[in-house]
Each structure stands twice: as structure tokens, then as C-alpha cells.
Structure 1
Amino acid sequence: MYPGYQYIGHETISVNKPVTFEPQHQGVQPGLETLMNPRPISENPEYKGSGKLQDRVVLISGGDSGIGRAVAIACAKEGADVAILYYSEEDDASETKALVENCGRQCLPLRGDIQQDAFCAYAAEETVRHFSKIDVLINNAGVQYPQNSILDITADQLRRTFETNVFAMFYLTKAVLPVLKSGASIINTASITAYAGHQELLDYSATKGAIVSFTRSLSLSLSSLGIRVNAVAPGATWTPLIPASFAPAKIKAFGTNAPMKRAAQPFELAPAYIYLASDDSCFMSGQVLHVNGGIIVGS
């Protein structure tokens, strides 16, 4: 565990009592984990790997922080080497690299803009050059820009949100697909907003709905190749995207509307990704796992 992290035991965080955060705000997306108070919990020290991803290679967009970091650590504990894509968060990426290496595996950080098709192609090429293959692609990076009304969503915001959240998934999948073999897995990060909606996140919710449809359609498209495609739809999760998105006044009660009365910590999402990446889910494709604190939504 690195400085600034404190593990909260399972019994403590599972009590259905509201868990609140200090009001805070970051002015730039996708946000920095190093500036958050409290820091997200990315690693469960009680999680012991069992070789589910032994010697596999996992490529994760947005792997420097938040859910991506937690998944990178869990993949390393399961025996995988990891490439993480990040935009500009050098300190976060360096921390994640150290955490993966502390698990005895290699980590390749790659800085660039996934809105650019050329960078996605470069990221796939560099990952293969470094590790010789790619077995799992996790399309995880995303942005959100709350607005009170659709009238406040500019053409530039709409374009930026879709290019980051949806276009990048197409770019990365196209770049990685030629090197994926039968048995490979693609996992997309959707959101509870694709099912429940969100009055201040119209464009973000629309992208997440698109990701659900993309997951289902890509699953059908790649089934004959033996490549599985699934998604995880997180509920409220304490990641850098939250203080980078919402006003300080809305941070304190973040996530308390769920039946479990709290937001998730990133490490609580990681096992869902491990399940979908591993052979444990070999008969599962085109599906979405809902990890959202007990909110019932349509599948």
C-alpha cells in the first residue's frame, strides 16, 4: 500500500450507513488521484490472486487512476502484465506502474489522446512490441461534464464526450483486434446512467447507452472468432472523475442515494473485470455486470 491509502475492512465499508466525502473540486478532467481527499482505495490487500490471468497481457485505457488503476493491480495479482493508457496524469501513471510492479508484473505506461485514431494504433503497436501480444482489452477511459439543461451542452462538449467515451472504443478495438486470438476478452466500462439516466449528464448517459449497444453488437460480430465482449456498469464510484466533474457542494453526499448508502471504492469493481477477463466467464458474452450498490436496473 502506498502513502495516502488506508484500507477499510469489508465489514466496515459494507455497513448501510452514509459515507460522505470532503467537498472538493478539480478544474481539469479527467482529474488527478493525487489531489483527492480522501484518496480512493485501489487495492484490497486481502485479495490473493490465483493465476487466473497468468502470463496474459492486458491493455487498459484510463489505467492510471480510479477503476482502471484498481483493475491494473488486480490483473497483476492474477499474473498479467499490463499496459496503461493515460492522457497527461504523469504522477498517477507512475504510481500505478509502481503498484503493478510491486505485484511482480510489468507495467507499460503510454501517454496520449485516445480521441486520436493514430494514438490508439500506436498504443496497440507499442504494447505488442513490448509484450509480444495482447490478450485482454479494457476500454475504460471516459469523461463527463454535468450541465443543468440540454441547452447548456455545446457542440464542442457533445463532440468531446462522444469522441472520448465512444469513438475511442472503436479506435482501440480496431487497433487491437488484429492481434487478438481465440479466447481473448474485450471489456467495456459502461455506467448505471445507461439504464437509470442522470438529469445532469445527458451526453455522458447517451454515450454509456451507446457503449451497452456497442458491447452487444461487437459480441455478435466477434463470436465466430472466439473473442468475448462484455461490459461492467458501475454505480457511483470514488474516482478522480467525480471531483473533476461536480461542484464541491455535491461531493459530500456522493453515492448515498444507493441502497448501500455509499459510493464504491475502485477496488470493489476490480473483481468484476477479472471475472470477465478470465476463463471463469468463458460462456459469457454480450452481457453487462451491474456493480452499483444495490440499485435495481434493467439488464
Structure 2
Amino acid sequence: MRGVIVPLVTPFNEDYSIDVPALEEHIEFLQKVGVHGIFINATTGEFTSLNTEEMKFLAEKGRELVTSSFYLVGTTSSNTVEVVELTKHAQDIGADYVVIAPPYYCPLDDNALFAHYSMIAEKTDIQIIPYNIPSCANPLSVSLIKRLALEYSNIAGVKETIDSINHIRDVILDVKGERNDFKVFTGLDQHFLNTLILGGDGGIMACANFAPEVHLVLWKAFQEKRFEDAFEHARRLAKLSRVYDVASSFGSAIKLAMSVRGFSIKPILRPPYAVDGPEVKERIEKLLTEVLG
């Protein structure tokens, strides 16, 4: 698995129920444009606002719908036993990978985090991608990632949602350098090209929900060594990523951007998250017009 992976939004109706037709339409669209992977129950999918049964339902629905891309399922929880349960479920339904952020709320040291991921890796066979997102959960150090990667063959890669080129560099050089099949993905649109240049494998990026064509053309240009084109599209992505600065939350930014671009997914977030008002939507529309035309 390499390239452009989309952390899928979860569409909701006005009563906060899951909008299944909109989910089906969006997955069909993403596969039609040719993304390399689809990741359900992601941060962008508001997994913290879903209960266990909803996470399983979405995982099963996604498995039914995703037929031409790699299929990834988020199985994060601060309860290790629940992570094992969700990961076994993803394995049983035939997901290709699970993506697991560290526990959040309570601070944990590297030994506790190693024990958390070790239990999951030992109790399941599916390929596991730890998800480093230190702004929201316990951070994964380079030394911890390396320890996990060298100890467990089913810990297959890492998603790095961290605004640090040095950290990504060290993961690629120190971990991928010793285990060549270990995958390194950025979670930030603006670091997509940086990660590829350093030797990473791609990105799992939320803006690909509403502008996957930019990510895909950058990927293609880089693979074909058309570097001037890749630089141009990287600059477009860097500007596009400012959508997060305009909105009050990542969820509001992505769903408002999707609304601006005409997707049928409603700009609805489950409480306690809230969608920004018309002024923010206008600023997002202006930004998207500047970048996408």
C-alpha cells in the first residue's frame, strides 16, 4: 500500500444518525477518481463520537463498498481490550489494515504504550498501522515506533500526523532504514511531498475527501519524476491545508469544504463538535476558489 489514502468523513443526518446513502456515494466517488486507499472510522470520521456498534457497522459497510482500493479500519480506543475487540472484528470482515491511535486522556510512558500495542499485535494477525497524533493522544516516539516495528512483523507502518519534518525524517531513516517494508505515511496534506522526498510511502490526508485530484496529480508527477509539476501541486496543497486555520475544528473545515464543492454530505457534526457559521464558510469558499478554481 502506497500513495493517497483518504481518512473518510462520517456523514450524518439532521438527527445525527449515519447517512448511509451519502457514505455509499462518497466511497463510490473516491474509488472512481482512483485513490489508493480508504480509511473508515478515522479522526476525520469523528470516531470519538461513535459507539462500538456504530464503528463495527461502518467497518462492515465500508468492507462491502470498497472494492478497488486498500481498505483500512480505525480501531482506536483508550481501552486496550476494546481495541483488541474492534481489531479482531476488522480482521474477521477482511479489512487490509487497521489504524490505531494511542490511548488519550491519561498520560502514558513508552513502556505502557509498548504494552498496549503489543497486546493488540499478539492477539491479532491483521496488519497494524499505529497512528501518531500527539495533538490529540499520547505521542509515539521514534524509539518506541522502532521497537514495535522490529518486534512485531504485523506492525506494518505508521501514520504521522505531526508537524515536524525532523520526526518524519528520523522515522524513515531509523525505522524504515532497518525494516524496508515498514510504511511511513504523513497525516498532513502540506507534508505530502516532503514525506515522499524523504523516502516515505504516501499520505493519509483529510483534504483528499474534497480535493483528491490535487493529491493524486502530485503523486503521479512525483512517481514520473516530473518534479516541477510536483512542486507546483505541493504548493497548492500547502495553501489548501489552510482550511484548518479558517475553521474551529478539522471536522468543520472538511465538511464545510465538501459542502462548498457540492458534495451531498451534509455539514453536520455530532455534538460536542459544531459546524462553523456562514462567515467561515465564505472564507473557505474563497480559499478553495483561489486554489482549485
**Structure-1-length-normalised TM-score:** 0.37
**Structure-2-length-normalised TM-score:** 0.38
Which is richer in helix? 2
